[in-house]
Structure 1
């Protein structure tokens, strides 16, 4: 049991200085003053600090990405400490280009391992290629019967994709939506968007010409290219959910895109931000030859948040939603995640006035205290 005393609480809305009591992995009570009733309760003094929801990173290559420059470029698996240091208490794992030397079995196993180590983990079945690689032989069955699986990943407008047809995307989206309904999960198609000429054309055709709800298909990396971003903001304006990727700078950085979206009247609740952590980034020449390759960091998620507030002057409440509340609602895990509320999961960050992370609590367990990691992965 943990009692946090007199801390400024952002749920992500500011609700004042409160005491927050945690037990059995959940937020049990939020009040102006909670008396200590047992010496078994750990007391954390919150004076001069802020309490915010733990971050939800909805796009991480937990088993490692890469491999596009031969075997030596395969990115290693992520470790628990990297997520904790980044303030991430809930993560969504997925595959990328490589579903040949990596597979869904490995992805689900890694998700279960991270859950055993203390954080919350979901995954998407599938990968860039189509037909989608699965564990059960069926995307629909993966979502319905595998606890961690909440959707499917595919790729479009990318030279590494399988160039899905209209009928294939429509059928996949329909199957995923039904699977989500049957299992009570998000049931979404996460679409890696590349730099290709067709952009969102195929997605728009499926949404416009079928009865599939627009929120079923979720394009990500949409801030990688100006033309793609224009299409994507229009998609969000129509009610779709789009995901911005950290590590892209200048006018295409998530923080600048959100400022632009606000001026255009885009519903900001339709925008989420993710790190693409442990995925590879790469540059190719006009002939498709790889010029440069590297790996993304999950720390970019929290750094983007800090930059929004400290550099661009976003209100703390507004900035938090893109990493917490918006994501939990989009993933159908609200109100368990993404909010500080009685009976919600105790996934919390304590930060100072410079937004430096001091304490991380995941599922009610102290993972970091006063900047010191208390919990590491099994082999760290």
Structure 2
């Protein structure tokens, strides 16, 4: 299949001007001021008045559902393909959360494979909150090495629901995952769910100081969930580590607000990313541990946060895009294919109108949404 996008304002994510973009199969074949006289017929999209940007990459989604902390009826629902498409997300990383018992890594793998078959790009993390970790092969490092879609491992720390691993255990886990990544040419990352406990990032800092495991092996997320953790997150970036901000943290600074403050401090832009925690349950607890309320997060918070950064926080679009596209791709070692609009890269792109509303979605060269109408739904979304 060939696809030609004409006269779009291209943000790659850096602004490169008004261009024509030719897609052949799943790849971007050519970017030029004008492309005419093609030898074969192709589908043409009129990009005039629209902004062509990389598809968003959401690296933290509970694609099989999460939660269950208020009983079985609070298990959150499985992600549907149309939710990704209507949110401009073309690449997703699935993972488990609190529930690593009724939610299995095997089921996560199957859902990851299904999303790939339905037309987007999907990866996953092995493990969950707990330790020893649920795995497919019997060991987390083997999952990373032998299962193509597994990029790293998930673990919870500094949380009342975490397994409370020791510093030595944290070092050993991180070391094994890093080596597994080296052997399989993957990022080999340890994604750390950060809770509200006072310990914050202290266990991570101690593990780094007491070992030779590189700081970029550790990937703390939800760092904007409280003021102390956020401050520690800024210090972590200053040391050369990645941090991930979560959308929709009620009562806490938004990812955009955190990034604006980080910019004011002169911190490295390339070390910060944003994710949705989509289909995970959000919950509030009393001081005695009683569950007060629970709900489910959505993946559309990514696009909403991008819009807010540009329209309300006055962050230039070409910079705001970094935290949702190229930074995430580089952090996951897939920047040669994802997160950029350039020749030879995967054809994962979205068209935004003047108000940054989603108009068109292209995933792996397929038009999944056009003129604000979804064209590709999940296999059973329209079943009777």
TM bracket, shorter-chain basis:
over 0.9
- Which secondary structure does the structure 2 equivalent of 1:33 belong to? coil
1:83 and 2:92 are equivalent in the alignment: no
Aligned partners of 2:258 and 2:288: how far apart in 1? 30
- Alpha carbons of structure 1 residues 377 and 72: separation in structure 2 relative to 1, 3 Å: same
Per the alignment, residue 246 of structure 1 pairs with: 247
**Contact 1:66–1:74 (8 Å) recurs in 2:** yes
- 2:14 aligned residue: 13
Structure 1 SS opposite 2:324: coil
Aligned to 1:361: 362
Q: Tell me how far apart the structure 2 counterparts of residues 279 and 132 of structure 1 sit (CA, whole Å).
A: 19
Q: Tell me the C-alpha RMSD between the 2 structures.
A: 0.8
Runs of 4+ in 1 over 4 A off after TM superposition: none
Structure 2 equivalent of residue 331 of structure 1: 332
Q: What secondary structure does 1:6 align onto?
A: strand
- 5+ unaligned residues in a row in structure 1: which ranges? none
Q: Does 1:375 pair with 2:368?
A: no
Matched, 1:211 2:212: yes
Distance 1:100 1:293 in 2: 20
Name the TM-score, length of structure 2 as normaliser.
0.98
- Is this contact kept in 1: 2:225–2:252, CA < 8 A? no
Which aligned pairs between 1:25-44 and structure 2 lie closer than 5 A? 25-38=26-39, 40-44=41-45
The answer to whether 1:139 aligns with 2:140 is yes
Contact 1:155–1:193 (Cα < 8 Å) also in 2: yes
Following TM superposition, by how much is the alpha carbon of 1:24 offset from its aligned partner in structure 2, in angstroms?
1.4
Distance 1:190 1:44 in 2: 38
Q: CA contact under 8 A between 1:251 and 1:257: conserved in structure 2?
A: no
Asked if the contact 2:109/2:124 (under 8 Å) is kept, the reply is yes
Separation in 1, partners of 2:234, 2:12: 27
CA distance in 1, matches of 2:266, 2:11: 25
The aligned residue for residue 234 of structure 2 is: 233
How many aligned positions are there?
A: 380
Distance 1:251 1:266 in 2: 20
Preserved CA contact (<8 Å) 1:3 1:22: yes
Equivalent position of 1:173 in the other structure = 174
Q: Deviations over 1:223-246 (max 9, x none)?
A: 000000001110011100000000
Residues 248-287 of structure 1 mapped to structure 2, 5 A cutoff = 248=249, 252-287=253-288
Cα displacement string for residues 231-288 of structure 1 (whole angstroms, at most 9, x for unaligned residues)? 1110011100000000025661111111111111211110000000000000011111
Secondary structure, aligned partner of 1:18: strand
